[in-house]
Amino acid sequence: MKRTARWIAVLRTPVGAGAGVLLLAVLLLALVAPLLWTHQATAIDTEHLLEGTSAKHWLGTDNLGRDIFYRVLVASRTSILLALIATSIAVVCGLALGCAPTVLGRRAGRLATAVVNIAVAFPGLLLALFFAVVFGVGAKGAVLAIGFAGAPSFARLTQTLVAGIEKRDFVAAARIAGVGRFRMLSRHILPNIAEPLVVNATIGAGGTLLAFAGLSFLGLGVQPPAYDWGRLMGESLNSIYVHPAAALAPGVAVVVAGLAFNLFGEAVAKGFGVPVLKGPRLPQGETAPAAAVDDDAVLVVKDLHVSFPGPVTPVRGISFTIGRSEIVGVVGESGSGKSLTALAVAQLIESPGQVRASELSFLGAPLLGRAAVRSTAAARRRLLGTSFAMVFQDPMTSFNPTMRIGAQLAEGAREHQGMSRRQAMSRAVDRLRAVRIPLPERRAHQYPHEFSGGMRQRAMIGMGLMGTPALIVADEPTTALDVTVQRQVLELLEQIRTENEVAVLLISHDITVVGQVCDRVLVMYAGRIVEDLPASELYTGARHPYTRALSAAVPDLDTPLDEPLAVIPGRPVDPAHYPSGCAFAARCEFATDRCRSEDPALVSHGPAHQVACWNPQGSAAWQARHPGTESIRTGQR
């Protein structure tokens, strides 16, 4: 639903409409009351001191004979203005603390998070009183006190919102494009958390109003001769039993104004679904080359491990190399570690996740370990930003919804290739044309929601082509698309590989897709590569029982319609509890005692073919033991 339509929907609900009108009235009153009634509110009438309600003074008079009704009206401006300033301070401080981990990096970020954790543990009122004492009595001190006391809860909200946004693919894409921390914050994160923050600030303003009235009531807030609702309540307290209206009226004003902010914020939050607080290749000379560089290797991965506290090690010792212009597919069941491998290569594994490898190098530049330290982080970022591209599964989340497509494509080029705004934009249009987006000039000025899923995915590939990429990592790039669009995207990847000599690492759970477009296939099981083979041999020459079972599970035209589809029996292994032998042994019909006790290594079984299995199928030894069972499609149906 479009934004305007959402606003209309909110204002059509009884609560939304009522709270909207009430809030408008309160704000209007704060604006005009001092202009219209200051004279009546300050006029001293010594003949009518401390009088009760009368036709002349609807709510009575105070100890100087001033009209309480007009004083309540006029006090609305001070009360609301100070509450809004205090709320703004809370939001700004909360934002600064909540965004600290993004801007300052891991260590300083942890410190900021610890400060927030401690601060939110204190009751807000206690903090407000503490700060009121620190900043001194008076309106200024009270504003600062309430503002700082409110900051921890906004910091917590900001942290939660930022954490949610940081998981989105467009943030990962911007990171790969080498977007700096401040720009990441200002362009990609803040615009996407602005809506919930503003809504929560509106709700928070109601509470701040109440807190402010409390401090003024205690004599810690607004000081005479200025007055706000809290002070009016304090002044009338002594005569509450004689003239209750004079004491109750400012209280009612606080409640009504607070409710207006609260209810309106809640209605908007509900309506908007907002959570509520409760090119160039390796830059010359900048990165040290790896010890032994395979000239044709774009990516070298050796003994890669990815682990998380637990300990859980979903990727445990995988090695592969991708040559120039090569399309390598990675297949395996859900949870086999495919995506984590891609994220580790893209340097996108976040703490507490840990990546280690004996070598992880891209275009000869080490990305991990001691060797990587010699090259600066900025140089590595530039290298990844210009020569590496990532395409994610969900085209809905791959782009920042608040930025136009052209601007998003242009962002990385301006950052790393020193292009002017105009040059970067014209390259963006050119790249959109290259990925067959119709009317690219017009489309570049549109927002992601105006693109179809397939177009967004092609635009994402176009984004990767803004530099001169050597490798595109595509993680399930077609899973969210229908079959026709899927075909188009795969064709585009193939075309780019041919025209631009780009290597592609294509991750998919769909063995058919991988078989169609890849040169080589890595089959992953339980965080290991169990078979590395040419794609042309996937259906006819696979040796690992798991690869065979995967291909046998794909129905084809010969599959009998009256029989159930093939499945691989059993369940994938829990990455926290790997068995001692081969991880597939429990599901393998050919498993022997050796399989259950010894883990097989990935060893060569012919040119460009490696298998990790004690009983590779189709081998001479295996055929001798299983005469007449050559057909691969005799898998576990």
Query: Which residues form the interface with ligand ATP (CB under 6 A)?
Result: 308, 312, 314, 332, 334-340, 353, 509, 575
Whether residue 579 contacts residue 341, with contact meaning beta carbons closer than 8 Å, is answered with no
**Which lies closer to ligand ATP via its Cβ, residue 15 or residue 586?**
586
Question: What SS3 class is residue 439?
Answer: coil
Q: In the numeric block, which tokens belong to residue 513?
A: 């897709």
* Residue 306 beta carbon to ligand ATP: minimum distance, rounded to whole angstroms: 8
Q: How far is the CB of 314 from ligand ATP (least distance, A)?
A: 3
Tell me the pairing of strands 520-525 and 327-331.
parallel
Backbone angles phi, psi at 317, to 5 degrees: 80, 60
In the bound complex, what is the minimum distance in angstroms from residue 335's beta carbon to ligand ATP? 3
How many CB atoms lie under 10 A from the CB of residue 169?
A: 20
Please tell me the distance from the alpha carbon of residue 271 to that of residue 294, in angstroms, as a whole number. Answer: 57
Answer yes or no: are the C-beta atoms of 521 and 329 closer than 8 Å.
yes
Least separation in angstroms between residue 406's CB and ligand ATP is 31
Cis peptide bond prior to 225, omega within 30° of 0:
yes
Least distance between ligand ATP and beta carbon 408 (Å): 25
Q: Are 508 and 514 in contact (CB under 8 A)?
A: yes
Select 285 or 309, whichever has its Cβ closest to ligand ATP.
Answer: 309
Give the residue with the Cβ less far from ligand ATP, 293 or 576: 576
What is the smallest separation between the CB atom of 336 and ligand ATP, expressed in angstroms?
4
For residues 479 and 516, which CB has a smaller minimum distance to ligand ATP in the complex? 479
Q: Least distance from C-beta 486 to ligand ATP, angstroms?
A: 16
Cis before 196? omega within 30: no
Place of tokens 């059993």: 570
Minimum distance between the CB of residue 533 and ligand ATP, rounded to whole angstroms?
A: 19
| Bridge partners for 507 per DSSP | 330, 475
474 SS3 class: strand
- Residue with Cβ nearer ligand ATP (50 or 554): 554
**Distance separating alpha carbons of residues 357 and 369, to the nearest angstrom:** 8
Residue 548 · residue 635 · CB < 8 Å: yes
Least gap, CB of 221 to ligand ATP (angstroms): 47
Dihedral sign computed on CA atoms, order 611, 614, 616, 619: positive
Q: State the number of CA atoms in the 13 A half-sphere of 577 facing the CB.
A: 3
Specify the residue, 571 or 637, whose C-beta has the smaller distance to ligand ATP. Answer: 571
Task: In angstroms, give the least distance from the CB of 330 to ligand ATP.
Answer: 8
Residue 266 CB partners (closer than 8 Å, separation 6+): 15, 19, 203, 276
Report the residue number, 79 or 307, with the smaller CB distance to ligand ATP.
307
Phi-psi region of 570 (alpha: psi -120 to 50; beta: other; left: phi over 0): left
Nearer to ligand ATP (CB atom), residue 195 or residue 394: 394
**For residues 322 and 295, is the Cβ–Cβ distance under 8 A?**
no
Sign of the dihedral defined by the CA atoms of residues 420, 426, 430, 433, in that order: positive
Measured distance CA(86)–CA(84) in Å, rounded: 5
User: Which C-beta is closer to ligand ATP: that of 353 or that of 541?
Assistant: 353
CA distances from 500 to 177, 381, 472, 497 (A): 18, 22, 11, 6
Smallest distance from ligand ATP to CB 617, Å? 23
Minimum Å gap between C-beta 575 and ligand ATP is 5
Nearer CB in complex with ligand ATP: 214/314: 314
Task: DSSP for 358-412, please give it.
Answer: SEEEETTEE-SHHHHHHS-HHHHHHHHHHHEEEE-S-TTTSS-TTS-HHHHHHHH
Query: How many C-beta neighbours within 10 Å does residue 119 have?
Result: 18
Q: Minimal distance in Å, beta carbon 312 to ligand ATP?
A: 5
Residue number, 168 or 605, with CB nearest to ligand ATP: 168
SS3 317: strand
CB of 356 to ligand ATP, least distance (A): 16
Provide φ and ψ at 357, rounded to 5°. -160, 150
Instruction: In angstroms, give the least distance from the CB of 305 to ligand ATP.
Output: 12
Nearer residue to ligand ATP within complex by CB, 6 or 509: 509
Number of H helices and E strands in the chain, helices first, is 23, 13
Closer to ligand ATP by CB, 209 or 322: give it: 322
Q: How many of the other CB atoms lie within 10 Å of CB of 591?
A: 18
Q: String of b and e for 31-50 (b: at least 16 CB within 10 Å)?
A: eebbeebeeebeeeeeebeb
At closest approach, how far in Å is the CB of 348 from ligand ATP?
11
**Residue of 484, 498, 527 lying closest to 330 (CA atoms):** 527
For ligand ATP, the closer CB: 11 or 396: 396
Nearer to ligand ATP, 150 or 314 (CB): 314
Judge residue 405's burial from the number of C-beta atoms within 10 Å of its C-beta, 0-12 exposed, 13-18 middle, 19 or more buried.
buried
Residue closer to ligand ATP (CB basis): 210 or 473: 473
Distance CA 455, CA 275 (A): 30
